[in-house]
């Protein structure tokens, strides 16, 4: 018969397991400490880099984007660091000022576009509003994206909506667009025009007619869509927020 392990053997095995566990915890603590030290070194180097290239970060939007990505890779957010070293750069002030200007443009165009504006049109309007004064920094689409995302603190009133490869729209009305509504915008954008019909949605997205109609009716109720009844074949639903984008692509 096979003999069972004695009490001494069981205790010995238990002690060994506890030693392995303690050793494992020790290794994890050492690794965590080393990683913490490395991050501190990275942050110090990042501060030195930021100090050295402060003017370039402020003036060059592409350089500013790359710097933001460097910060993000080690968990540093200069936009939320309002005190200490990062406040010296003034990056946070730049984005907060830009966010306020985004709100102003959105409010001024709400009546026309129903609270939905393309990122390209937003950038064009902001550049025009800011003027050509040297005191204003050049703004890029990446700057607008970062500033607009900061507006989420106001709730669902401001949202960045992807509508295609590298194409975005800023929604400035309460309530989030559903996946169907986003799909409609993406489809209209892909056709390089500012309008679409129920039958086009049905054919392009393989939707039932009722689903296509429901999505467009909701967007019309929200003021995002205008309906054209002049077409003898079928209603055409126009997106005023895409008018300028279509004009630019036709040039």
Indicate the pTM of the whole model: 0.62
Question: Which range among 19-28, 44-53, 192-201 shows the weakest confidence by mean pLDDT?
Answer: 19-28
Predicted local confidence at residue 244, as pLDDT = 64
The pLDDT tens digits of the residues spanning 26-48 come to 677 766 666 666 667 766 776 77
Contact criterion met (CB below 8 Å) for 98 and 143? yes
Predicted local confidence at residue 145, as pLDDT = 86
Would you place residue 213 in the very low, low, confident or very high pLDDT band (cuts 50, 70, 90)? very high
Q: Tell whether the model's pLDDT for residue 154 goes beyond 70.
A: no
Predicted local confidence at residue 137, as pLDDT = 63
DSSP per position, 144-184: HHHHHHHGGGG-TTSEEEEEETTEEEEE-SSS---HHHHHH
Q: Tell whether the model's pLDDT for residue 250 goes beyond 60.
A: no
Predicted local confidence at residue 82, as pLDDT = 52
Would you place residue 96 in the very low, low, confident or very high pLDDT band (cuts 50, 70, 90)? confident
Range(s) within the chain of domains with CATH label 1.10.10.10:
77-175, 177-251
Q: Which residues pair with 162 in a beta bridge?
A: 168
Residue 90, CA atoms < 13 Å, CB-side half-sphere: 12
The pLDDT tens digits of the residues spanning 109-138 come to 888 888 889 898 999 888 888 765 445 567
Predicted local confidence at residue 233, as pLDDT = 81
Which letter does DSSP use for residue 132 in this model?
S
> How far is 73 from 50, CA to CA, in rounded Å?
15
Full strand arrangement of the beta sheet holding 116-118: 116-118, 167-171, 159-164
Predicted local confidence at residue 206, as pLDDT = 92
Rounded to a whole number, what is the largest CA-CA distance in the chain?
96
> What is the fold, at CATH topology level, of the domain defined by 177-251?
Arc Repressor Mutant, subunit A (1.10.10)
Q: How many residues does the chain have?
A: 251
The pLDDT tens digits of the residues spanning 155-170 come to 656 788 888 888 888 8
DSSP per position, 71-91: HHHTT--GGG--STHHHHHTH
Which comes out higher in pLDDT, residue 132 or 195? 195
CATH class of 77-175: mainly alpha
| Structure-token match 């609270």, residue found | 115
Contact criterion met (CB below 8 Å) for 118 and 242? yes
Question: Which range among 39-43, 202-206, 221-225 shows the weakest confidence by mean pLDDT?
Answer: 39-43
> How far is 152 from 189, CA to CA, in rounded Å?
24
């Amino acid at each position: 018969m096979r003999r069972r392990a004695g009490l001494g053997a069981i205790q010995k095995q238990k002690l060994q397991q506890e030693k392995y566990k303690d050793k494992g915890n020790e290794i994890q603590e050492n690794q965590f400490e080393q990683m913490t030290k490395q991050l501190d070194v990275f942050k110090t180097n990042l501060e030195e880099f930021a100090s050295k290239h402060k003017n370039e970060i402020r003036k060059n939007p592409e350089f500013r984007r790359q710097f933001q990505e460097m910060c993000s890779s080690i968990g540093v957010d200069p936009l939320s660091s309002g005190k200490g070293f990062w406040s010296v750069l003034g990056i946070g002030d730049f984005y907060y000022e830009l966010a306020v200007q985004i709100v102003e443009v959105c409010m001024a165009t709400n009546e026309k576009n129903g609270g939905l504006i393309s990122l390209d049109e937003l950038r064009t309007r902001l550049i025009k509003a800011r003027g050509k004064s040297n005191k204003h920094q050049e703004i890029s689409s990446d700057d607008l994206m970062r500033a607009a995302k900061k507006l989420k603190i106001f709730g669902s009133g401001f949202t960045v909506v992807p509508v295609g490869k590298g194409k975005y729209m800023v929604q400035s009305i309460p309530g989030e667009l559903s996946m169907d509504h986003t799909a409609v915008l993406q489809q209209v954008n892909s056709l390089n025009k500012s309008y679409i019909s129920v039958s086009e949605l049905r054919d392009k997205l393989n939707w039932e007619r009722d689903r296509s109609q429901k999505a467009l009716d909701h967007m019309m109720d929200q003021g995002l869509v205008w309906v054209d009844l002049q077409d003898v074949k079928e209603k055409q639903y126009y997106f005023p927020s895409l008018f300028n984008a279509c004009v630019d692509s036709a040039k």
